Amino acid sequence: MPDALGAALAVPGLIWLAVAFLAGGLVRGFTGFGTALIVMPLATRALPASEAVVIVTLAGMLTWGAIVPRAFALADRAQVGLLAMGALLAAPLGVALLAVLDPVPLRWTVAIAASVTLAALVSGWRYGGRVGPLGLGGIGAASGALGGLTGLTGPPVVLFYLAGTGQAVQVRANTILFLAVLDIGILANLLLRDMVTGRALALAAMMALPYLAALLIGQRLFHPGNERFYRAAAYAIIAAAILSGLPLFDGQEGA
């Protein structure tokens, strides 16, 4: 464990990773999502994508106690269950691809997925129809595959909920509960493939503290009546994270 801790402390840009988790915790506290959108583009600049996925997943699980119990009480658990079933079935495919793909295309995948999600959210598009069980399973499967591949577990489900007409309180609760269940599936697949390293465990434990503090602050700031303001702030943070994590800018720091 001391070796793992030393390796974690030697990660380049460790302070910026902590800042990313602070921003991710704040945004997730008041929106119910956003951590991976903020952390993954930055984390994959200093770490292998597989290790970044482990850290984001574990840090989130270590802070469940602050956010999941309340979400469980408020969520539409039947609907979340259908989404989660599809996600858990598809997560192994994403993790399998993560184990074999080159990291640079994978970073572009992260950036593109995050950008498409952000553009859809900013557009304000809304869908008033009803999605049946098969549709819910498909949306969950898309999240599971993307989450296993990139660590971005939320985009398809977040887009589905934010594009709908549901009230902010339940949308937020459903999203939090879904992401918690999917974290379990992704971690199980990472463990089966022996992709959880000591350094990743140490980094996750270190990042969980600032993440938890920011998450609690964000949760206190959440008020449904001010939803427009908080969404705008989240969008701005996510956009900055996407830009800073683009492989296009590799090697430009010293230019």
pLDDT at 79: 94
- CA–CA distances in Å: residue 248 to residues 11, 45, 50, 105, 108: 21, 11, 20, 11, 9
Domain residue spans of the chain: 2-249
Model confidence pLDDT, tens digit, residues 173-182: 999 999 999 8
Per-residue pLDDT of the chain (255 residues; tens, 9 = 90+): 678 888 888 888 899 999 999 999 998 998 888 888 889 888 888 888 889 989 999 999 999 999 999 999 999 999 999 999 999 999 998 888 888 888 678 778 878 887 887 888 788 767 777 889 999 999 999 888 888 887 777 778 877 887 777 777 888 899 999 999 988 988 898 898 898 999 999 999 999 999 999 999 999 988 877 777 777 877 888 788 778 767 775 554 444
pLDDT at 255: 41
Q: Are 251 and 243 in contact (CB under 8 A)?
A: no
Structure tokens at 35: 């951590």
Model confidence pLDDT, tens digit, residues 50-106: 899 899 999 999 999 999 999 999 999 999 999 999 999 999 988 888 888 886 787
Q: Are 204 and 151 in contact (CB under 8 A)?
A: no
Q: How far apart are CA 52 and CA 142, in angstroms?
A: 20
Closest CA to 207 of 47, 38, 8, 49: 8
- Would residue 151 be called left, alpha or beta, if left means φ above 0 and alpha means ψ between -120 and 50 degrees? left
